[in-house]
């Protein structure tokens, strides 16, 4: 996720002094309290597309299930939102309500022994195509996979509990507890900061808002669907861009403001256009959802709660006709997103308008989407892209017996008709890409072909990948170009 450094919380956050059991965020919450709008977005029960976040680590050694169970119990005790459960749904203008109690790790961990990648792929897809019950805490599951070359640990976390940065922080607590290391938390109340109105953009009074580009028709093109069935659940494919390949990224050729993240995003715009062209789809305006981390720099990777907003990065056919124009358009919008004017615009509205959006318009979109006009809902975006940043700096190791952290994968839940999301994470100089797709949009072969086009697009944009260098997939790659007739 992007780190927003110019948005800061108002000073009056609750201090977290005293022993852990006396800290405000760790107290048992007996009285129910309302969900935030961001949490409610992921609360509706959608059996075909469960709102499960993928967080998967692999180590070079082995992980003990009993010690892992104790470590998860310790992480649950430290972070109150990981113990939250849904106690009542929405009723008219009253938001769904949470309650937080003391819970243990019973039933959270299960384990498997896997001896081949194909079996692991199938197991992973099914694991993340299920969802922990939000009415029973904790709404988190862990799958320990013993395998040659090092164990894998898969976490399935309900997205209503926390955002991606929050989930990384919670997993980090598991790793520290497993390794027997200290796990300090910042002096903020993790429940109070869920109220995004507590964040005040310092640039709000003076920032001029740059409007995202529009085509004359205003049409947003989705990623072309290549299956003809409404199969439930998700598939996930992994890909590594090696350290040698990453060393060839040089965003500075496009300007000093351009980042590697901008190149990754630009590559997705180009890939969607090319994928749609091969599949016979349209490529008008392409719009990619981008989560933005609102945590201030002082605790940018802390607090296991929902503290994000989303914004859009969009390009037109004219932008994509020239690589420099494409990267310039992406970079300009990302600079705008990082400065936070979209959020400023929302907070600048009268309180009654914000209440109306959160308690009337948003619930209608979530629970009765067919009756809400497109003019209110807005167009469906093309896909979602999140950048988890440098995992080396965010997740501790699991200790000597587990060995080094060798892989990290994350992916967001996505719903149809968008149906596609990608997460990038940087580990030891490599980029780990996880592409998550609805099985009603892609099958596994199509997902791997989409990734191949993506790598070729990055080759052209940044010289980051040499066509003669092998690209490592989590399984053998498919032939070039999507084959829409296979189903």
Per-residue model confidence as pLDDT tens digits over 205-245: 433 333 344 333 468 999 999 998 889 999 999 999 999 88
- List, in order, residues 6 or more apart from 239 with CB less than 8 Å away: 432, 433, 435, 451, 455, 471, 472, 473, 474
Residue 27: pLDDT over 60 = no
Output 110-117 pairs: Cβ under 8 A, ≥24 positions apart. Answer: 110/141, 110/142, 110/143, 110/144, 111/65, 111/143, 111/144, 111/145, 111/146, 112/143, 112/144, 112/145, 112/146, 113/145, 113/146, 113/147, 114/145, 114/146, 114/147, 115/147, 115/148, 117/474, 117/475
What pLDDT, on a 0 to 100 scale, did the predictor assign at position 198? 62
Residue 50 has what pLDDT? 94
Better-scored residue on pLDDT, 369 or 287 = 287
Q: How far from chain centre, in Å, is Cα 177?
A: 24
State the Cα–Cα distance between residues 6 and 335, nearest whole angstrom. Answer: 11
pLDDT class for 151, splitting at 50, 70, 90?
A: very high
Question: What is residue 314's predicted lDDT score, i.e. its pLDDT?
Answer: 94
Please classify residue 400 by burial: count the beta carbons closer than 10 Å to its beta carbon, then call 0-12 exposed, 13-18 middle and 19+ buried. Answer: exposed
Q: How confident is the model at residue 476 (pLDDT cuts 50, 70, 90)?
A: very low
What is the predicted pLDDT for the residue at 287?
95
User: Highest mean pLDDT range out of 67-71, 251-255, 388-392?
Assistant: 67-71
In the chain, DSSP finds a helix count (H) and a strand count (E) of 13, 18
pLDDT mean over 176-188: 93
Residue 38, pLDDT score? 87
In 3D space, the residue among 23, 405, 447, 63 whose CA is nearest the CA of residue 239 turns out to be 447
Q: Which residue has the tokens 């104790």?
A: 70
pLDDT (0 to 100) of residue 199: 61
pLDDT of residue 348: 62
Check pLDDT > 50 for residue 409. Answer: yes
Q: What percentage of residues in the chain have a pLDDT greater than 70?
A: 81
The model's confidence at residue 118, banded by pLDDT at 50, 70 and 90, is very high
Question: CA-based Rg of the chain, rounded to a whole angstrom?
Answer: 22
Q: Tell me: the pLDDT tens digits for 51-65?
A: 999 999 999 999 999
**Segment among 171-180, 314-323, 343-352 with least mean pLDDT:** 343-352
Q: What is the mean pLDDT of residues 303-332?
A: 92
Distances (CA, A) of 394 to 93, 301, 391: 38, 7, 5
163, pLDDT greater than 50? yes
pLDDT of 436 over the 60 cut: yes
Residue 218 pLDDT: 66
Q: How many CB atoms lie within 10 A of CB 148?
A: 9
Is residue 369's pLDDT more than 80? no
Judging by DSSP bridges, how do beta strands 29-34 and 97-100 pair with one another?
antiparallel
Of 52-66, 121-135, 192-206, 272-286, least confident by mean pLDDT is: 192-206
- Percent helix, strand, coil in the chain, to 5, is 35, 25, 45
Instruction: Say if residue 298 is preceded by a cis peptide, omega within 30 of 0.
Output: no
Q: Give the three-state DSSP class for 339.
A: helix
Q: In whole angstroms, give the CA distance from residue 140 to residue 122.
A: 20
H helices of 306-432, where?
Answer: 317-320, 323-339, 341-347, 351-356, 362-367, 374-377
State residue 338's pLDDT score: 72
Mean pLDDT (the chain, rounded): 82
264 with 424: CB under 8 angstroms?
A: yes
> Residue 4's pLDDT is what?
33
Mean pLDDT of 89-96: 86
Take residue 175 and report the two structure tokens written for it.
Answer: 């790793």
pLDDT at 108: 95
Burial class of residue 10 (count of CB atoms within 10 Å of its CB; 0-12, 13-18, 19+):
exposed
Query: Would you state the pLDDT for residue 258?
Result: 92
Residue 437 has pLDDT above 50, yes or no: yes
Of the listed ranges 5-19, 273-287, 453-467, the one predicted with least confidence: 5-19
Cβ atoms of residues 301 and 281 within 8 Å? no
Neighbours of 251 (CB within 10 A): 21
Strand, helix or coil for residue 440: coil
Residues 6+ apart with CB under 8 A from 360: 93
Tell me the whole-structure pTM to 2 decimals: 0.85
Q: Token pair 């992980």 is at which residue?
A: 63
Average the pLDDT over 19-43 and give the result.
Answer: 67
């Amino acid at each position: 996720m992007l780190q927003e450094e110019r948005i800061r919380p108002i000073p009056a956050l609750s201090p977290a002094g005293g022993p852990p059991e006396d800290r405000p965020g760790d107290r048992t919450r007996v009285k129910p309290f309302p969900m935030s709008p961001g949490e409610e977005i992921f609360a509706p029960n959608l059996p075909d597309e469960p709102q499960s976040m993928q967080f998967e680590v692999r180590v070079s050694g082995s992980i003990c299930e009993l010690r892992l169970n104790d470590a998860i119990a310790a992480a649950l005790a430290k972070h109150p939102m990981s113990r939250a459960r849904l106690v009542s749904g929405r009723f008219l203008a009253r938001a769904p309500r949470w309650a937080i109690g003391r819970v243990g790790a019973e039933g959270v961990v299960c384990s498997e022994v896997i001896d081949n990648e194909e079996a692991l792929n199938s197991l992973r897809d099914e694991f993340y195509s299920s969802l922990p019950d939000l009415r029973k805490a904790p709404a988190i599951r862990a799958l320990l996979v013993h395998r040659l070359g090092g164990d894998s640990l898969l976490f399935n976390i309900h997205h209503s509990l926390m955002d991606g940065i929050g989930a990384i922080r919670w997993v980090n607590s598991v790793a520290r507890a497993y390794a027997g290391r200290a796990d300090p938390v910042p002096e903020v109340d993790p429940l109070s900061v869920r109220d995004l109105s507590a964040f005040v953009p310092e640039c709000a009074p003076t920032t001029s808002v740059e409007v995202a580009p529009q085509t004359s028709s205003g049409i947003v093109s989705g990623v072309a669907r290549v299956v003809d069935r409404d199969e439930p659940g998700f598939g996930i494919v992994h890909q590594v861009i090696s350290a040698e390949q990453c060393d060839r990224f040089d965003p500075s050729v496009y300007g000093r403001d351009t980042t590697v993240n901008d190149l990754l995003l630009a590559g997705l715009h180009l890939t969607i256009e090319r994928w749609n062209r091969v599949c016979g789809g349209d490529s008008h305006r392409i719009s990619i959802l981008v989560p933005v981390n609102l945590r201030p720099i002082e605790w940018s990777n802390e607090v296991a709660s929902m503290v994000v907003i989303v914004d859009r990065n969009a390009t037109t056919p004219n932008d994509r006709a020239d690589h420099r124009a494409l990267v310039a358009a992406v970079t300009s919008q990302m600079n705008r997103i990082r400065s936070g004017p979209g959020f400023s615009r929302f907070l600048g509205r009268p309180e009654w308008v914000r209440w109306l959006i959160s308690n009337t318009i948003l619930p209608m979109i979530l629970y009765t989407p067919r009756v809400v006009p497109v003019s209110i809902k807005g167009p469906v975006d093309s896909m979602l892209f999140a950048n988890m940043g440098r995992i080396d700096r965010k997740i501790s190791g699991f200790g000597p017996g587990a060995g080094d952290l060798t892989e990290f994968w994350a992916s967001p839940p996505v719903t149809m008709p968008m149906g596609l999301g990608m997460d990038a994470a940087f580990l030891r100089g490599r980029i780990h890409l996880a592409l998550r797709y609805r099985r009603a949009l892609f099958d596994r072969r199509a997902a791997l072909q989409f990734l191949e086009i993506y790598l070729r697009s990055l080759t052209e944009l940044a010289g980051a990948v040499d066509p003669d260098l092998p690209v490592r997939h989590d399984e053998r790659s498919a032939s070039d170009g999507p084959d829409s007739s296979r189903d």
